[in-house]
Amino acid sequence: MPSKKHAKKTTAKKQHTVKPAVAKNQHGRIAAVAHVFTKSMTRKSKDKASAKPVSGAVQSAPAASDNSRFALYVYWIIILFFVSATCYIMGRSYSILNPNRKSDSVVAEAALINVSGMSESQRADLFTEYASAGKRKLLDGNATGAILDLTVAIEANPKIADVYVYRGESYMQVADYTRAMFDLNKAIELDSSNSIAYYDRAMLNMRLENLEKALEDLNSALEANANRPSEILSNHDIYAKRAQLLLWARQFNSAVNDYTAAINASANRQNPDDYAGRAEAWTMLSEFRHAASDYLSAISLISEQIHLVDTSEEREKMSRAAMSYFEKSAALNVKMGDMNAARTDLEAAHSLAATLGDNDTANRLQSLILGL
């Protein structure tokens, strides 16, 4: 499973936002406009005064200029000396106060060397320490450090499937797909009911464009999750990913079924992407009315959820998705001959583009509106 499923961090400061209004127009269609606020930068300019050189001052400048340059030179030498001395003293103090401080790689290598001579209880303690540290580093985005720690944990106890899963995910993050595949295969060999291992291997096979193997792994993930439900991986995740894969494989009816299963499996908080994905599948099946309805459902969900996100970047991303869905819905309405509904959709998309400050898209949409 991609590591972001284990944890999600917010690093940007919260900004004020306004929940977009959802209203039904005269055609009974839903319009949502997400307001994105940006800070305007005020530029201040200062007039520069120019002064003419005084000829008398120029005449007496050479001697004074030489003295000032020499004094400045000595001044900077003294400053550089004290800066260098301070850095040296601080470095020596740190090494004295932390004589045993070593890099992660040195510590991990030392642990690997010492594993063979450890007792069973010492190995158990080492496994717990390094497995926890490796998982933490993986969640923090330190894939290289995670690989080092998880390798120590595997040396201490090579029979725990989850550790191979974590290291496989770490190798995927650094694009070492050969080692990632080895670890995920090993995890499944050790635990054939590990749904996360199957799911992660499906993601890896999708990256490698082995779509048939990816589909097999997602089927196995669903079966394994039915036998032993995971606290981390939900059926919604598996259905949604399999629906996406089926859409790529142009198996549109099956994609519709899986997107529907994903929607039904996410009763607590539905994902707009599921409706948008199903709309794409409906479109390919020429079921334009179903497709348009699903796009509007996706937009409605965005309007309800946009105020729950923490960053302006995420709000903008959701607003752009809604803008795209309005335009796709408009195209479908044109196909169905409903020009009034198409105009309404394009006007809503135009409002979003203007709010986002996307002038190019706003102008393009305005041209489409005028062309109806």
Which amino acid does the sequence have at 245? L
Query: Is 323 within 8 Å of 352 (Cβ atoms)?
Result: yes
In whole angstroms, give the CA distance from residue 231 to residue 270. Answer: 18
Kindly report the average pLDDT of the chain as a whole number.
Answer: 80
The SS3 call for residue 173 is: helix
**Tens of pLDDT along 80-91?**
666 665 555 454
**Tens of pLDDT along 164-209?**
999 999 999 999 999 999 999 999 999 999 999 999 999 999 999 9
Count other Cβ atoms within 10 Å, centred on residue 64: 10
**Tens of pLDDT along 34-86?**
333 333 333 333 444 444 444 443 444 445 556 666 666 666 667 666 666 55
Rg over CA atoms, the chain: 31
Count other Cβ atoms within 10 Å, centred on residue 372: 11
Pairing mode, strands 22-24 and 30-32: antiparallel
- Give me the residues paired with residue 24 across strands: 30
In whole angstroms, give the CA distance from residue 150 to residue 160. Answer: 11
pLDDT the model gives residue 74:
64
CATH annotation of 270-372: 1.25.40.10
Which amino acid does the sequence have at 267? A
In whole angstroms, give the CA distance from residue 112 to residue 117. Answer: 10
pLDDT the model gives residue 55:
41
pLDDT the model gives residue 100:
45
DSSP string covering 206-269? HHTT-HHHHHHHHHHHHHHHHHS--SS--HHHHHHHHHHHHHHTT-HHHHHHHHHHHHHT--SS
pLDDT the model gives residue 119:
85
DSSP string covering 271-324? -HHHHHHHHHHHHHTT-HHHHHHHHHHHHHHHHHHGGG---HHHHHHHHHHHHH
Q: Which of 55-59, 232-236, 269-273, 315-319 has the lowest mean pLDDT?
A: 55-59
Q: Which residues are CB-neighbours of 132 under 8 A, at least 6 positions away?
A: none
In whole angstroms, give the CA distance from residue 327 to residue 360. Answer: 15
Q: Kindly state the tokens that stand for 343.
A: 């105009």
pLDDT the model gives residue 117:
77
In whole angstroms, give the CA distance from residue 185 to residue 187. Answer: 5
Q: Which residues are CB-neighbours of 111 under 8 A, at least 6 positions away?
A: 126, 130, 152, 155
Q: Which residues are CB-neighbours of 288 under 8 A, at least 6 positions away?
A: 282, 332, 335, 336
In whole angstroms, give the CA distance from residue 365 to residue 324. Answer: 11
Higher pLDDT, 223 or 266: 223
pLDDT the model gives residue 47:
41
The SS3 call for residue 140 is: coil
pLDDT the model gives residue 113:
57
pLDDT at 103 over 50: yes
The torsion angles phi and psi of 270, rounded to 5 degrees, stand at -75, 155
Which amino acid does the sequence have at 222? L
The SS3 call for residue 18 is: strand
Q: Where are the domains of the chain?
A: 270-372
Higher pLDDT, 103 or 298: 298
Using the Cα atoms of residue 280, residue 286, residue 287 and residue 292 in order, give the sign of their dihedral: positive
Would you call 331 exposed, middle or buried from its count of C-beta atoms within 10 A (0-12, 13-18, 19+)? middle
What percent of the chain has pLDDT above 70? Answer: 69
Q: End-to-end distance of the chain based on CA atoms, in angstroms? A: 46
